[in-house]
Amino acid sequence: MRRVTIHDVAEAAGVSLATVDRVMNGRPGVRKTTIEKVRQAAETLNYTPDVFAAGLAKKRLYRFHFLIPDGPNAFMEDLSREARSHAVTMSGARMHVHVEPIDAFDGHRVAGTLAMLDRSACDGVAVVAPAFPEVRAAIDRLQARGVPVVTLVSDHPASTRQHFVGIDNIAAGRTAGRLMGRFLPKAPATIGLIAGSLGLRDHSDRYAGCREVVERDFPHLKLLKVREGRDDNARNADLVKKMLAEHPDLAGFYNIGAGSRGMIAALQASGRSGDIVCIGHELTPHTREALMSDVLDAVIAQDPGHEIRSAIRVLKALCDGVPIIEGQERIRIDVFLKDNLPDISELPDLPG
Amino acid sequence: MRRVTIHDVAEAAGVSLATVDRVMNGRPGVRKTTIEKVRQAAETLNYTPDVFAAGLAKKRLYRFHFLIPDGPNAFMEDLSREARSHAVTMSGARMHVHVEPIDAFDGHRVAGTLAMLDRSACDGVAVVAPAFPEVRAAIDRLQARGVPVVTLVSDHPASTRQHFVGIDNIAAGRTAGRLMGRFLPKAPATIGLIAGSLGLRDHSDRYAGCREVVERDFPHLKLLKVREGRDDNARNADLVKKMLAEHPDLAGFYNIGAGSRGMIAALQASGRSGDIVCIGHELTPHTREALMSDVLDAVIAQDPGHEIRSAIRVLKALCDGVPIIEGQERIRIDVFLKDNLPDISELPDLPG
DNA sequence: GGAAAAATGAGCAACGCACCTCAGAAGATC
DNA sequence: GATCTTCTGAGGTGCGTTGCTCATTTTTCC
């Protein structure tokens, strides 16, 4: 079972290696009938180019920049850790993955960072795009300069970015809404909602999804106005405390964004966590522990490892000009209860 | 930013290319101190072998056999389709993936198929292992012949198989149990359980997990004895009809195995699907539709695409003698509600 | 039929590594 | 210090492409 090589194709088509090469790589100067002959031969022999040989010969180098927020956010830390970990494992595959921390709340700085990139330094960019117009403009300019851009986790749908790597946040919100509705008894009750900011696209999408489901399928539940805690634990704790005091019939909390730790702490301190259905996002040591101790009832999550790997695959496909397999690149919405938590050992090791 | 090659390592270590090669490939005849020198140089230069060049030079061929049940089981069909689809896409990476249909209910035949494989024809086997002792013995013998074996979807923990690619079925059962408990009101009720056969390991594991959670956290729910429908739609429909008749307070169904279609049909026919919480396994066109029409309340699933890709990665790692990254290979338990169903377009296309 | 243009053949040098041989140097042993 | 053993260096070849060049053949068109 030897591999089929271009030699075999050349022989079968009755042409030379050079011609096969011209056809395979779309180079000019081949008659249409000859092209067809070669195509036929390749088809019947079931020829597929050897990726190793091609990779070696092309001596292409993929230099990707990942712009990921830093700061005290466990999910972003995981994302960044995964990216750095892949920088190591992929370096043998001619990929240089550079992770650049950004400040998600400073649109100017992020736009500035994007503005400094160009084709000479970078073959693709993945960015957790904060929802500032200047960021969108910077993405568009970067694309115009010929550098493919994908958005990561948080999208800018109106931009020219090639692809979005992340979950369908409307569906995530719907899922949270349904779990809330079904976990609660079928009786009138009030639900508290906390977001980082409704200016963030992922947060507003989740809210829209949750609201849609609750209003349609659980009309006995009343959603309170969304409070914005800027993903800050202290602020979120404060908000939870206030809402609990103001609404004695409060039966559920949905934290749309990060900073679940603050909500968890406040709820635990209130002593009412047993009666209150509480749903948050992202699997972190804190949400994990809160699930185990029944403070949190469900966690909606996305897998940072999958997202990084998907972003790398997509950027590579864009560089190579090959189509993206949409099915493989769709990021699943993970639903975690205390019963299906993955082992902690899943975090990748980083050398040094 | 040129790649670091063995030339650089050789120079840095002050030795020749041949010596670097000896060290890198564990060939004999190098002094310990020299080995250390080379290791150091490689380390400080951050050398990683070029996978393309190495792959080309090694001219290794990976021939993997996937033994997957055929028959009218949508999940197994998906699994098989994914495997065949990867047979195409991976052929450029020197991988030959051969999909062999097996009869999961005929242990002798499966064992016979395994017995016919050896190193001369095959470098690795992934098998959906039915729980027969002769299958286990055949797996052990195949391993002894030097062919690495991984089990897929359904495990044989007592065998010498190198790895299991599939979900933690106990956790899956626990998840189903908790969803059942939380979706139902906090009142005494009866739950019907259907499995393909408790002789199948995945089914018995799921049952154990479900029972554990229900008995501990929802003691007001009474689990009926598990009925075995052999994953057959007609039989399952029959079982559901009987149980509904026998138990007027029946408030939930958990179909532990395949054949959800039968359960769905019977439930729909009974006109009681609105009051009954119903949970099944695996995402198929039927379970998908049943979720949308509120007949099914939740589906616990595993992603066949992930499983095939993971099996291929693991087999390749076993062939190369490199360690398996456990974290990347853990298969997630998917929880689907009507709100987070992935698009249908995820199915891979098969040429021809 | 002849000139110009287009198509094709032949061949070569990378690419980075694996794997091999053979000669020669360094080290151990007495 | 001679001998034997163990290490090491130098060099070559092959892996299947890519991406050239240059010569040669075939086709096209006037």
Give the chain A residue whose CA is nearest to the CA of B94: A50
Pairing of strands B298-301, B334-336: antiparallel
pLDDT at B244: 95
φ/ψ of A40, rounded to 5, equals: -60, -50
- Which of A4, A47, A52 is most worth mutating to test chain B (most B CB atoms within 10 A of its CB)? A52
- B332/A337 CB distance under 8 A: no
pLDDT at B277: 97
Same fold for the pair A6-57 and A169-301: no
Residues of A in contact with B169 (CB under 8 A): none
Query: Band of the pLDDT at B351, cuts 50, 70, 90?
Result: very low
Query: Band of the pLDDT at A309, cuts 50, 70, 90?
Result: very high
Nucleic acid strand C: bases within 7 A of protein CB: 6-12, 14-21
User: How far apart are the CA of A48 and the nearest CA of chain B, in angstroms?
Assistant: 5
pLDDT at A352: 39
Q: Which two tokens stand for residue B226?
A: 């598990």
What is the rounded average pLDDT of the residues B142-169?
95
pLDDT at A327: 78
- A56/B61 CB distance under 8 A: no
D21 nearest neighbour residue (CA to C1')? A18
SS3 content of chain A, % helix, strand, coil (to 5): 45, 15, 35
Q: What is the DSSP letter of A224?
A: P
Of A1, A53, A340, the CB nearest to B56: A53
- A333/B343 CB distance under 8 A: no
What is the rounded average pLDDT of the residues B242-267?
94
Q: Helices A201-217 and A169-183: crossing angle, nearest 10°?
A: 40
pLDDT at B199: 82
pLDDT at B60: 84
Of A49, A340, A347, the CB nearest to B92: A49
Domain B6-57 indexed as CATH 1.10.540.10: no
Q: Where are the domains of chain A?
A: 6-57, 61-166+304-331, 169-301
Does position A2 have pLDDT exceeding 80, yes or no? no
Residues of A in contact with B335 (CB under 8 A): 334-335, 337, 340
Query: Of A41-50, A297-306, B159-168, where does mean pLDDT reach its minimum?
Result: A41-50
- Residue whose C-alpha is closest to residue A150's, from A308, A332, A327, A321: A308
Pairing of strands A298-301, A334-336: antiparallel
Return the CA Rg of chain A.
Answer: 25
User: How far apart are the CA of B124 and the nearest CA of chain A, in angstroms?
Assistant: 16
φ/ψ of B165, rounded to 5, equals: -105, 105
- DSSP sequence for A247-264: -TTEEEEEE-SS-HHHHH
**Measured CA distances, A273 to A269, A291, B12, B185 (Å):** 8, 12, 62, 19
Is the distance from CB of B301 to CB of B281 less than 8 angstroms? yes
Domain B60-165+304-331 indexed as CATH 3.10.20.740: no
pLDDT digits (tens, 9 = 90+) for A212-251: 999 999 999 999 999 999 889 999 999 999 999 999 999 9
- A339/B178 CB distance under 8 A: yes
User: How far apart are the CA of A123 and the nearest CA of chain B, in angstroms?
Assistant: 13
Does position A146 have pLDDT exceeding 80, yes or no? yes
- B339/A49 CB distance under 8 A: no
More confident residue, B42 or B346: B42
**Nearest nt (C1') to B19 (CA)?**
D8
SS3 content of chain B, % helix, strand, coil (to 5): 45, 15, 35
What burial letters (b/e) apply to B256-279, b meaning 16+ CB within 10 Å? bbbbbbbbbbbbeeeeebeebbbb
Query: Band of the pLDDT at A346, cuts 50, 70, 90?
Result: low
Strands (E), B137-188: 149-152, 163-165
The residues with which B69 forms a beta bridge, in sequence order, are B102
Q: Which two tokens stand for residue B170?
A: 């106990």
pLDDT digits (tens, 9 = 90+) for A150-183: 999 999 999 999 999 999 999 999 999 999 999 9
**What average pLDDT does the structure give for chain A?**
92
pLDDT at B120: 86
Strands (E), A29-90: 62-69
pLDDT at A351: 45
Number of H helices, E strands in chain B: 14, 12
D8 nearest neighbour residue (CA to C1')? B19
For strand D, is any atom closer than 7 Å to the CB of B25? no
For strand D, is any atom closer than 7 Å to the CB of B56? yes
Residues of A in contact with B305 (CB under 8 A): 327-328
Q: What is the DSSP letter of B125?
A: E
Dist. CA B317–CA A338, nearest whole Å:
32
Dist. CA B20–CA B34, nearest whole Å:
9
pLDDT digits (tens, 9 = 90+) for A116-134: 999 888 999 999 998 899 9
For strand C, is any atom closer than 7 Å to the CB of A54? no
pLDDT digits (tens, 9 = 90+) for A89-119: 888 788 999 999 999 878 899 999 999 999 8
Query: Band of the pLDDT at A348, cuts 50, 70, 90?
Result: low
pLDDT digits (tens, 9 = 90+) for B106-136: 889 999 999 999 988 899 999 999 889 999 9
% of chain B with per-residue pLDDT over 90: 74
**Measured CA distances, B301 to A238, B89, B175, B200, B309 (Å):** 38, 25, 11, 17, 16
**What average pLDDT does the structure give for chain B?**
92
pLDDT at B250: 96
The residues with which A163 forms a beta bridge, in sequence order, are A150
Cα B329 to chain centroid, rounded: 10
**Nearest nt (C1') to B56 (CA)?**
D15
- Residue whose C-alpha is closest to residue A307's, from A161, A150, A149, A152: A152
Domain A169-301 indexed as CATH 3.40.50.2300: yes
* CATH number of the A61-166+304-331 domain: 3.40.50.2300
What is the rounded average pLDDT of the residues B141-146?
95
- B174/A1 CB distance under 8 A: no
User: How far apart are the CA of A120 and the nearest CA of chain B, in angstroms?
Assistant: 12
